[in-house]
Amino acid sequence: MKFTKMHGIGNDYVYVNCFQEKVDNPSEVAKFVSDRHFGVGSDGLILIKPSQIADCEMDMYNLDGSQGAMCGNGIRCVAKYVYDYGIVPKTTLRIATKSGIKELNLTVENGKVSLVRVNMGSPILEASKIPVVSDQSQAVNQPIKVNGHTYYFTGVSMGNPHAVVYLDDVDNLDIEKIGPAFEKHPVFPDRVNTEFVKVIDRKTLKMRVWERGSGETLACGTGACAVAVSSILNNLTGEEVTVKLLGGDLKIHWDRLENLVYMTGPATTVFDGEITLP
Ligand SMILES: N[C@H](CCC[C@H](N)C(=O)O)C(=O)O
């Protein structure tokens, strides 16, 4: 199987061009290629497919083989792939995902995409639609008991579920322990991606993320959007923020009038390869 290794500020996936390749059992392939010792090494697998309703379709799998509904860092790389490889020679394009069609604008330098702006759509705040178990219609600063401690989270879906938790220190965080405890907590019926956030100032947030099905990743685009929405809802920042992640920065703007979230960030191609599947 031919593939291309790409990343969005360190959130790396194995990309397969399904205009040319056929992947029969993507969940199993995701588990195999994601292994950093026995496979290629990645946070998961992303299939780039033809679409009847958009310029192409993105189909994303976590490293545990579970299918995700949306991938912010991934969709920027999909746009870069289809432009750079001449499949969709347009700088404004639409990509179908499991959470609807997203529109993207590309910045091209020396014939290659360097920066991508994604209209990520409207955040979903209704607890039942995230889903989050709550006795309120929205889970804003909701208390939750994890490993014997009480934390407060805000639930946001960007097509996939996120729990945003504010802490004074995200550097000395035992994320390997607290991450899985949030991910599998019964308050989140479909599991959850958890972002641990420190507010730097009203325009800057610093975050780490424990992803559903992938563990700690260096970045999470939908997570950065969820963090921005939560921080604006909690009046901790203005509408435009820089979210600083381990792998780099993303610019997020929640246009409250349109109720649309825009994410701007880079997309990087690392190498093309070929792998024999088991
Ligand atoms: N890394 C992705 C999110 C993956 C979400 C996935 N872990 C799930 O919801 O199952 C991003 O950049 O938005």
222 in a structural domain = yes
Tracing tokens 């599947």 back to the chain, one arrives at 277
| pTM score of the predicted model | 0.97
Task: Supply 202's token pair.
Answer: 């009203």
Which range of residues forms the domain containing residue 183?
127-258
Tell me what pLDDT residue 265 has.
98
What are the phi and psi torsion angles at 232 (to 5°)? Answer: -70, -45
Same-domain check for residues 57 and 157: no
Average pLDDT over residues 48-62: 98
Residues with CB under 6 A from ligand 1: 11, 62, 68, 71-74, 160, 193, 211-214, 217, 220-223
Residue 144 sits in a domain of what CATH number? 3.10.310.10
- Give the tens place of pLDDT for each residue, 171-180: 999 999 999 9
Q: How high is the pLDDT of residue 11?
A: 98
> From ligand 1's centre to the CA of 69, what distance in Å?
8
For range 66-84, the mean pLDDT: 97
> Tokens standing for 122?
């409207």
pLDDT digits (tens, 9 = 90+) for 123-153: 999 999 999 999 999 999 999 999 999 999 9
Instruction: Please report whether residue 121 resides in a domain.
Output: no
Q: How far apart are CA 32 and CA 50, in angstroms?
A: 24
Query: Scanning the structure block, which residue is given the tokens 């090494």?
Result: 41
The residues annotated with a catalytic role in the active site are: 71, 220
Give the chain's domain count: 2
Write the pLDDT tens digit of every residue in 152-164.
Answer: 999 999 999 999 9
Mean pLDDT of the chain: 97
Polymer length of the chain? 278
Q: What's the gap between Cα 194 and its chain centre?
A: 11
Specify if 60 maps to a domain. Answer: yes
User: 115 lies in a domain?
Assistant: no
Written as six digits, the tokens of 133 are 């178990």
Q: Look at residue 213 and tell me if it is in a domain.
A: yes
- Angle CA 150–156–160, to nearest 5: 115
Residue 224 is predicted with a pLDDT of: 98
- Ligand 1, atom 3: nearest CA belongs to which residue? 71
> CA-CA distance, 219 to 131, in Å (whole number)?
22
Is there a binding annotation on residue 72? yes
Q: How remote is the CA of residue 176 from the centroid of ligand 1, in Å?
A: 17
Residues 50 and 82 in one domain: yes
* CA 11 – ligand 1 centroid, Å: 9
Ligand 1 center from residue 272 Cα (angstroms) = 23
- 89 in Cβ contact with 103 (< 8 Å): no
Q: Does the annotation flag 276 for ligand binding?
A: no
Q: What confidence score (pLDDT) does residue 219 get?
A: 98
Average pLDDT over residues 104-108: 98
Kindly state the average pLDDT of the residues 27-33.
98
Q: Do 140 and 247 fall within a single domain?
A: yes
8 A C-beta contact, residue 120 and residue 102? yes
In the predicted model, what is the mean pLDDT of residues 177-204?
Answer: 98
From the CA of 160, give the closest atom in ligand 1. Answer: 9
The residue whose CA is least distant from atom 6 of ligand 1 is 68
**Is 222 known as a binding-site position?**
yes
Q: How far apart are CA 159 and CA 216, in angstroms?
A: 19
